[in-house]
């Protein structure tokens, strides 16, 4: 199975800040990497697919990059509504696997 490791596990930032979350795959996954945002008690929301493509309706302050084993999710100009847990997920092979999540708190 491909292991997905996110860093950090949690972070705290202020409105207007730029934050970066890293996701590392235990083996190469090309660009088949997705990012999700999940707020407490809610379903995940799809943010990014194919490492860097934004889903329709996702604000442009969200961006993704990377290929192979190392990927990043960047949020520029942080907003209060960005407080959530973020997950990466590889979909290159079964079983699909998720990172353990990064909890983002807005100060």
Partner 1 sequence: EVQLVESGGGLVQPGGSLRLSCVASGFTSTGFWMSWVRQAPGKGLEWVANIKPDGSGKYYVDSVRARFTISRDNAKNSLYLQMNSLRAEDTATYFCARIFCGTGGCYYDYWGQGILVTVSP
Footprint on this chain of partner 1 (rule: CB under 8 A) = 31-32, 34, 36, 38, 42-46, 49-50, 53, 55, 87, 89, 91-92, 94-101
Closer Cβ to partner 1, 26 or 100, answer by number = 100
* Smallest separation (angstroms) from partner 1 to the CB of 76: 22
For partner 1, the closer CB: 24 or 55: 55
Nearer to partner 1, 16 or 43 (CB): 43
E-assigned strand segments in the chain: 4-7, 10-13, 19-25, 33-38, 45-49, 53-54, 62-67, 70-75, 84-90, 97-98, 102-106
Dihedral sign for Cα atoms in the order 20, 25, 30, 31: negative
Least CB distance from residue 77 to partner 1, whole Å?
A: 25
What is the nearest approach in angstroms of partner 1 to the Cβ of residue 53?
Answer: 6
């Amino acid at each position: 199975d491909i292991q997905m490791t996110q860093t950090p596990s949690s972070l705290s930032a202020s409105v207007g800040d730029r934050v970066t979350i890293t996701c590392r795959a235990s083996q190469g996954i090309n660009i088949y990497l997705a990012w999700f945002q999940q707020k407490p008690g809610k379903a995940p929301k799809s943010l990014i697919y194919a490492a860097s493509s934004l889903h329709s309706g996702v604000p442009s302050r969200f961006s993704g990059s990377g290929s192979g084993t190392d990927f990043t999710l960047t949020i520029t100009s942080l907003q209060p509504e960005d407080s959530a847990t973020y997950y990466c997920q590889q979909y290159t092979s079964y079983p699909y696997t998720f990172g353990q999540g990064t909890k983002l708190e807005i100060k």
